[in-house]
Structure 1
Amino acid sequence: MTHRTRTLTAVASRDVFLVSNSVDELGGITSWSHQMARLFSERGHRVHVLGITPAPAGRRHDLGDDLPYRTTTLYDVHPPTRPPAGVLRRRVDPVDRRRHAAHLDGMRRRAARLTDLFRAAGPGAVVIVTQVWAMEWVALADTTGLTVIGMSHESYETCRRSSRFRRVQRYYKDVDRMLTLTREDADLWIREGLDHVGAMPNPLPFFPDEPSPRRAKTVVSIGRLHEEKGVDLLLEAWALVCVNHPDWTLAVFGAGEEEPALRRQCADLGIEKSVEWRGRTADVPGALRESSVFALSSRGEGFPLALMEAMATGVPCVAFDVAPGVREIVTDQVDGLLVPPADTRRLAHCLERLMSDQDLRDRMGESARRGVQRFSTDRVVARWESLFDLLAR
């Protein structure tokens, strides 16, 4: 990535590029990207959402035909996996050498396309890279004159346990600002020597006019059925809960590769009659209004949108305290209950506490709905625009 110089021209609106691994893959980052694209567009900015590859089969999100901004995907199909990085192997294996050369050539050609798009931007343009894998292509492009912001949509600890940790250190070290989701995570990255790190929370996905009445005897879980989301842990806790509350139901919204195993676990625990598998839903507010308690049983999180959605709907939450983003959103004992990670007995106890006490549900639900408004779209977009102005100076 080239060193960038900026014009100091004040602009009322900007070209904003949001660059992700994919434009249309199901998941929180796609939802966040398109929410921010709409919000920036409504403020008069010219927005272009860019993806490196198309979504995998079965994981495509239908974006509709009425987007008020452009979208572009650089590859027609997912590029081959990058060959192993060992220099010696590439020297002695001609097949591996050709694969490596083809991979780099493909990256450079797509990066050149990014350069063309960036050069057409007006003064004050901003490139927001939402995932570090996508940053590998942006780093090959010419970003002279642009502000480049790199984001990590996961907690520091989750990133540190993954291959992304070293890539963040490598590819985000020269961006104008790296953003995490919480101040606590930002401080941890600063200790790693990245002194240009700040924090930016996710905005509220919605704020319904009508909250949940919290009278339905339903506990709800919403999220992808993946090992990281910990639905297996929730089922363990539910097996302890449902014995004393046979008139309550656990409604699990979501789909994913873990569903068959989770259904088997449900049968093994003997709780099939009290668990409903609802699949994906296009009406999250409706699903939440029909529930009284929300459960977040994840093994890892960033700044969980589902938690914010539940609180906006006035549904009190019980959540594993697995990341700074969780405790940034929920104030324990005030607007929800936090549980030590993977402690299924404590999770069961806290679920029962809310299920058994209507007054407590109402008090925490109302407090949650008030408190989560600090992440309103107006407040978060204003913070983004203040950051754009700061970095353009």
Structure 2
Amino acid sequence: MTDQAWLTERPAASVATGTSDRPRDVFIVSNSVDELGGVTSWSHQMARLFTGRGHRVHVVGITEPEVPQELGETAYPTTTLYDVHPPQIGPMRGLKGRLNVAERRRRTARAEGMREQAAKLTALFRTARPGAVVIVTQVWAMEWVALADTTGLLVVGMSHESFAYCRKTSRFGRVQRHYRNVDRMLVLTREDADLWIRQGMNNASFMPNPIPFMPETPSPRTERAVVSIGRLHDQKGIDMLLDAWAEVAPNHPEWRLRIYGTGEDEEILQERCTTLGLDGSVDWMGPTSDVPGALRDSSVFVLPSRGEGFPLAVMEAMAAGVPCAAFDCAPGVHEIIRDGEDGLLATLGNTGELARRMDTLMSDKGMRDAMGEAARVNIQRYAAEEIVRRWEDLFAFLER
């Protein structure tokens, strides 16, 4: 790509630290300020990093989440636009749909409400200094930003999922529609950016996620525990993990599978666990605010997702020195994990293969240690300081 000079890698020693040469106002706009999931974690990590560099940050959510997460105190303001969720609307197919009075009223109420909330965004944006940036992390939120006045601001739209997974959803068309004219559309890998460009999104580029944390002391990898951390939702593939564990567990009766997280599929997944006869080896840990502690007490991490972008959970595990077994479900996964060097990959959906990858790591302490140490070294190419510098370079490039 001809305009990617701002992406050039620099040696770690030359990464700028301290205060940015050009402090900016940065608005990070998402579906929700505190929704449970990786996008929220990313938003607040970047908000902290930008704030630490002297930028003035404001995190904005459109509505309250269905499943919230605890944020604690933040060093920057947060705003949620809606007090109640905007009205749900259905498709208006054919004459019958167009004559559906109740649906037409819902659509009118939703449109009026969107304009009111977009006016709040406009008021926030007008407080910004020249050179301000609006980062929209999810395309649903972009529907409100598109109605607001962003004159004089740089607008960056993001997709935190792979091209292939997005293409299976209604978000695919909305990304093409709502991100086509933003200053830059960012995905998480070069491979996905190229696929979007082939769809006519000539403003597409890529920006990887930063490491969420880097523990001083890695996991000793002595605990006989395999860990999964994520929302209990179909996308995260916990049902497939249980199927794979059913093959592994009989060979390793002393090992436990610890599943951290909560979500709408929790009850049905626990029923599946019982049906498979796994209640004696699976621990449902619920959500955790101590991810480093959960990883420190584990020896293997597993990612059974059907779709991902640039999974923070894998980066966290590798930073803790815990080797991963994962479905190769997205370019971000095989960019982060170097198969056979610092983790093991399995074909998406092949639970038998995932079971064998877990079994290999569980059976061989020497391999676990070698891959865990390699993971801890390799993941440092996504150091937070480097990723923030790349963001600042992007801001400067877009201002030209």
Structure 1-normalised TM-score? 0.94
Map 1:1-393 → 2, pairs under 5 A: 12-56=22-66, 59-64=67-72, 66-85=73-92, 92-393=99-400
Cα offset, 1:250, TM superposition: 1.1
SS, match of residue 117 in structure 1: helix
Cα offset, 1:339, TM superposition: 0.3
Cα offset, 1:11, TM superposition: 6.7
Q: 1:124 to 1:88 in 2, by over 3 A?
A: farther
Tell me the alpha carbon deviations over residues 129-186 of structure 1, each in whole angstroms, 9 at most, x when there is no partner.
0010110111111111100000001000111000011100000000000000111110
Farther-moved stretch of structure 1 (97-106 vs 301-310): 97-106
Q: Distance in 1 between matches of 2:216 and 2:97?
A: 60
SS, match of residue 345 in structure 2: strand
Q: Distance in 2 between matches of 1:108 and 1:187?
A: 34
Q: Which residue number in structure 2 is paired with residue 7 of structure 1?
A: none
Q: Distance in 2 between matches of 1:88 and 1:286?
A: 58
Q: Distance in 1 between matches of 2:189 and 2:138?
A: 16
Cα offset, 1:100, TM superposition: 2.3
SS, match of residue 250 in structure 2: coil
Structure 1 unpaired stretches of 5+: 1-9
Q: Which residue number in structure 1 is paired with residue 3 of structure 2?
A: none
Q: Distance in 2 between matches of 1:204 and 1:11?
A: 23
Q: Distance in 1 between matches of 2:92 and 2:207?
A: 34
* Aligned partners of 2:88 and 2:106 also within 8 Å: no
* Aligned partners of 1:11 and 1:124 also within 8 Å: no
Farther-moved stretch of structure 1 (164-173 vs 240-249): 240-249
Structure 2-normalised TM-score? 0.92
SS, match of residue 147 in structure 2: coil
Farther-moved stretch of structure 1 (224-233 vs 15-24): 224-233
Q: 1:27 to 1:371 in 2, by over 3 A?
A: same
Farther-moved stretch of structure 1 (117-126 vs 237-246): 237-246
Cα offset, 1:97, TM superposition: 3.2
Cα offset, 1:95, TM superposition: 3.8
Q: 1:90 to 1:374 in 2, by over 3 A?
A: same
SS, match of residue 295 in structure 1: strand
Over the matched positions of the two proteins, sequence identity in percent amounts to 62
Q: Distance in 1 between matches of 2:172 and 2:264?
A: 25
State the superposition RMSD in angstroms.
Answer: 1.5
SS, match of residue 381 in structure 2: helix
Cα offset, 1:233, TM superposition: 1.1
Cα offset, 1:83, TM superposition: 4.8
| Counterpart code for 2:237 | G
* Aligned partners of 1:315 and 1:368 also within 8 Å: yes
Q: Which residue number in structure 2 is paired with residue 3 of structure 1?
A: none
SS, match of residue 104 in structure 2: helix
Cα offset, 1:87, TM superposition: 8.5
**What is the number of residues matched between the two proteins?**
381
Q: 1:291 to 1:70 in 2, by over 3 A?
A: same
Q: Distance in 2 between matches of 1:127 and 1:101?
A: 27
SS, match of residue 367 in structure 2: helix
Q: Distance in 2 between matches of 1:283 and 1:38?
A: 18
* Aligned partners of 2:236 and 2:304 also within 8 Å: yes
| Counterpart code for 1:63 | L
Cα offset, 1:94, TM superposition: 4.1
SS, match of residue 121 in structure 1: coil
| Counterpart code for 1:337 | L
Q: Which residue number in structure 2 is paired with residue 5 of structure 1?
A: none
